[in-house]
Amino acid sequence: MIPSACVRPGRLWDDLMALAAITDPARPYTRRSFSDRFLTGRDWLRARFAQAGLDCRIDDAGNLIGRRAGTRPGAGTLMAGSHSDSVPDGGRFDGMLGVLAALEAARALAESGLALDHDLEVVDFLAEEPSEFGLSCIGSRGLSGALSAGQRALVAPWGESLADAIARMGGDPARLDGPRRDDIRAFLELHIEQGTVLERAGRPIGVVQAIAGVTRVEIRFAGRADHAGTTPMDHRQDAAVAAAAIIGFVSERAGALAASGSGHVTATCGVVDIAPNAANVVPRAARLVVDIRVSHRPVLQTLLDALRAACDRAADRARVRLAAFTILSDSHPVACDPALAARIAAAADGLGLAHCAMVSGAGHDAAFVARLAPATMIFVPCRDGRSHDPAEWCAPDDAARGARVLADTMLACDRGP
Looking at residue 253, what is its pLDDT?
98
Is the pLDDT reported for residue 1 higher than 90? no
Same domain, 147 and 11: yes
Helix (H, G, I), strand (E, B) or coil at 323: strand
Last residue of a domain, one of 330, 363, 386: 330
Same domain, 286 and 141: no
Give residue-wise pLDDT tens across range 123-165: 999 999 999 998 999 999 999 999 999 999 999 999 999 999 9
275-309 pLDDT per residue, tens: 999 999 999 999 999 999 999 999 999 999 999 99
Domain boundary among 305, 330, 355: 330
* 154 and 14 co-located in one domain: yes
CATH label of the domain that carries residue 275: 3.30.70.360
Structural domain boundaries enclosing 357: 3-211+333-415
Contact at 8 Å (CB) between 169 and 62?
yes
**pLDDT higher than 80, residue 29:** yes
CA distance 397 to 69: 30
For residue 87, list its beta bridge partners: none
Does residue 178 share a domain with residue 56?
yes
Are 252 and 340 in the same domain?
no
Same domain membership, residue 184 and residue 94: yes
Q: Which of 330, 358, 387 is the last residue of a domain?
A: 330
What's the pLDDT tens digit per position in 71-95? 999 999 999 999 999 999 999 999 9
For residue 203, what pLDDT is reported? 98
| 166 Cβ contact partners less than 8 Å away, ≥ 6 residues apart | 61, 62, 126, 138, 142, 152, 172, 173, 176
Residues 161 and 297 in one domain: no
Instruction: Examine the domain organization and report whether 310 and 352 are in the same domain.
Output: no
Q: 36-51 vs 96-111: helix axis angle to the nearest 10?
A: 10
Mean pLDDT of the chain: 97
- pLDDT tens, 376-388? 999 999 999 999 9
Same-domain status, 252 and 322: yes
Query: Residue 122 pLDDT > 90, yes or no?
Result: yes
Task: Work out the average pLDDT over 198-220.
Answer: 97
Distance CA 332, CA 317 (A): 34
Number of domains in the chain: 2
The answer to whether 39 and 17 have CB atoms below 8 angstroms apart is: no
In angstroms, the CA 35 to CA 165 distance is 10
Q: Is 151 left (phi over 0), alpha (psi -120 to 50) or beta?
A: alpha
Q: Residue 417 above 80 pLDDT?
A: no
Do 165 and 125 belong to one domain? yes
Name the packing angle between helices 9-20 and 96-111 (round to 10°).
150
pTM as predicted: 0.93
Residue 162 sits in a domain of what CATH number? 3.40.630.10
Dihedral sign (CA 137, 299, 340, 101): positive
Q: What is the pLDDT of residues 325-362, one digit of tens each?
A: 999 989 999 999 999 999 999 999 999 999 999 999 99
Same domain? For 307 and 192 the reply is: no
Residues 403 and 361 in one domain: yes
- pLDDT of residue 25 exceeding 80: yes
**CB neighbour class for 222 (10 Å; exposed up to 12, middle 13-18, buried from 19):** middle
pLDDT tens track for 308-318: 999 999 999 99
Counting residues of the chain whose pLDDT is more than 70, the rounded percentage is 100
Q: How far apart are CA 225 and CA 287, in angstroms?
A: 15
